[in-house]
Amino acid sequence: MKKLIACLFLSLIFGFRISEPVIAQSKTTTSEQSFSTGLQENRWYKNVVIYNLELDTFKDSDGNGIGDFQGLIQQLDYLDVLGVDVIWLAPFQPSPRQDNGYDISDYYGVNPIYGTSGDFSEFMHEAEKRGMRVIMDLVVNHTSDQHPWFQEARQSMNSKYRSWYVWSEERPKDWNKGMVFPGVQQETWTFDKKAGAYYSHRFYRFQPDLNFSNTEVQTEVQKVMGHWLRSGVAGFRLDAVPFIIEDPYSDRENPTHRFQLLKELLRFIGWRKGDAVVLGEANVEPGEEVEYFGKEGNGMSLMFNFYANQHLFYALATGQINEFTNALQATKSIPEASQWANFLRNHDELDLGRLTEEQRDEVYQAFGPKKNMQLYDRGIRRRLAPMLGNRKQLELAYSLLFSLPGTPVIRYGDEIGMGDDLSLKERNAVRTPMQWSNEPNAGFSEASKTDRPVIDEGQYSYHQVNVAAQRRNPNSLLNWTAKMIRLRKECPEVGLGDWTILDLNSPHVLAIKYDWKGSQLVMIHNFSKEPQQVQIKSDVASGKKLVNLIEEKENTVNKEGVYQFNLEEYGYQWYRVGGVMRN
């Protein structure tokens, strides 16, 4: 009882997330275990698998060609069997849908094309029955220009909502700087004739920026968060975090950030729901994450590790691990309560903006050599499977995703190796309907025409790549992915433990050792298209046997006092030291 009271006290004061233990560690801890270890295990977001999907393209239940909540409910068993713990929903509120729903016109409702508020509640109930949490996109840097707030703000200088947005009577000197979508956007300040002034928009011109300097805006956003937390969501994926907290009148290319605004939002979430999480989208340099996580770990629970992700793709493109290893080390020192979210692909382009021009060109050459595969002068707009092009390297990438320090995030359809449609504009290339079967429209919809076209030609057409066929094939990517997710859940060391990169004296092979509560793991990955042989000193595992968690093999110390590993091209191996996990 004393420990429970202390946990609740710390939760209120420092923002610790106190909730039930993760499944892999559900046994009662002994009194000898430290208080901090108990808190660590109770951070549920550290040992889960997050699955990102969009209602538009997941499953259509009513034949109008657009996915909806009832369709998602129909497929919850599929996600449950796959091993998904957390569903991350893209925006589903009312919207003109000029930017995939990220142009919101009503923060409190459900877009009728996806169903009703009742359908949302039923979905939440069905997800909870299966033990799945739900986080939703929170898009509060900007609204749609069709939002009633902006429409009223345009009418008069005296409008209540005028100061809810960012205006300038004169065109700012940096009116065409700091664009999120260079090559597509022309400006970040646009003149509105009705308002007689320029309004700020870091994104498209139909997405005017909210003014977070206004306390009324802050209060309204808190109401929005409170509404959805009350509806049962477990937290938010916070969109475009640096833009929310920037001073819009500071230098567009080197803005001033007001982290106190972020702290206020997070404090409100913590008070409303103590174990709620915030997964932040903040593409920052190493060292800058400190202010986002909070120096005491009382900031955002998780952040996408964009920096490591970009260097991971450089390693996949070149077979050289040095830059990726440096990126992992550079992003290692984060607060105990914090966690990186690792991903391979998401709903946007593969952003390579943190690489040097030479490095970016090497990734382009390997994974996006044609101009129509590239986007915004910094990224690639392709799905993972067609980028990598072969099963072995695809498995290597996913083995890495599940074994890197942090929480894995999967994009819908990647578990079956879906492709892309480069005929679609910008990021829509990776936003095609889920391929459930070889029935018309990939089993996604019974409509005569779907809102987004299905991929019906080529190597990645739904005739070749679909869930139904892969379910029946024991060697399919789908069944392999489900097996790896189960394995990841049997390895809580990855989410909770301390980690060290082992020096193998190899430019191609990455080895990470995890330590947690007396249990140890060693994960080895060969980035080269050629077989590799590496050695690890016996003191790494105290001379104990290494039990392979993927194959029926063991590895012991040889006569020279080292462990020797033979890795095939793009090979990977997971080992438990001694073969016993401490519970």
What confidence score (pLDDT) does residue 581 get? 66
* Burial environment of residue 356 by CB neighbours within 10 A (0 to 12, 13 to 18, 19 or more): exposed
Catalytic residue among 239, 395, 420, 493: 239
Cα→Cα distances 289→282, 296, 313, 330, Å: 8, 12, 21, 11
pLDDT tens-digit map of 319-336: 999 999 999 999 999 999
Helix ranges (H only) for 490-545 are 493-496
Residue 283 neighbours by CB under 8 Å, 6+ apart: 242, 304, 306, 307, 351, 353, 354
DSSP state of 547: E
* 281 among known catalytic residues: yes
Only one residue has tokens 């002068």, namely 377
Ranges of the chain whose pLDDT falls below 70: 1-41, 580-583
What confidence score (pLDDT) does residue 251 get? 92
> Which of 165, 203, 100, 187 is closest to 427 using CA atoms?
100
For residue 24, how far is the Cα from the chain centroid?
22
What confidence score (pLDDT) does residue 583 get? 55
Q: How far apart are CA 354 and CA 577, in angstroms?
A: 36
What confidence score (pLDDT) does residue 455 get? 98
Catalytic residue among 54, 85, 119, 281: 281
What confidence score (pLDDT) does residue 559 get? 86
Q: Helix 322-330 to helix 306-318 angle, to the nearest 10 degrees? A: 170
Domains and CATH numbers, the chain: 2-41 (no CATH), 48-140+222-489 (3.20.20.80), 148-200 (3.90.400.10), 497-577 (2.60.40.1180)
* 239 among known catalytic residues: yes
Cα→Cα distances 224→107, 116, 147, 207, Å: 6, 18, 15, 18
Q: Are 101 and 92 in contact (CB under 8 A)?
A: yes
Half-sphere exposure of 513 (CA within 13 A, CB side): 17
